[in-house]
Amino acid sequence: MFKNEGKSKTFEIIIRPKINSSAIDELIFSKIKKTVLGNNYELCLVIIGKDEIKKINKSYRNIGEPTDILSFPLTEKEGEILICPEIARKEAPNFGRSYDNFIKFLFIHGLIHLKGFEHGDKMESEEKKVRDIFGI
């Protein structure tokens, strides 16, 4: 969807215009990605606006509302995660987290989905292991 064709980067961050991405620390996100998916998994993290994520959510999930995160496995070794900072900022207090912490929390959630987990106790356990490693 957003991944740049022809690039062989294992981790890429795309920030859509006019999106505040101050909570995105490429080094820490890269370390989290490698911990969950390994060095050979190609991942594109897209920081995206509310209107755009709403359209994508409607198109792929038939839900006409914006969401804080979407994850898309493209192949066994390739995927994309879309995060909407505007929605994340609103949701962070509901989880008792700061905005910066919640962005990392969401990223881990998306990575675990790409690893093949569905919502439930096993997924929560996997997420907690990673959050504990990184103090999130």
| Domains contained in the chain, CATH given | 11-134 (3.40.390.30)
Which tens digits make up the pLDDT trace of 6-32? Answer: 455 789 988 886 776 777 888 999 999
> Which residue pairs from 65-70 have beta carbons closer than 8 angstroms and sit at least 24 positions apart in sequence?
68/106, 69/106, 69/107, 69/109, 69/110, 70/110
Which tens digits make up the pLDDT trace of 71-128? Answer: 999 999 999 999 999 999 999 999 999 999 999 999 999 999 999 999 999 999 999 9
Query: 65 by DSSP, 3-state: which?
Result: coil
pLDDT at 135: 96
Which tens digits make up the pLDDT trace of 63-73? Answer: 999 999 999 99
Question: Measuring CA to CA, which residue among 34, 122, 110 is closest to residue 79?
Answer: 110
pLDDT at 16: 80
Model-level pTM? 0.90
Whether the pLDDT of residue 4 is over 60: the answer is no
Q: How far apart are the first and last CA of the chain?
A: 29
Q: In angstroms, rounded to a whole number, what is the distance separating the alpha carbons of residues 90 and 16?
A: 19
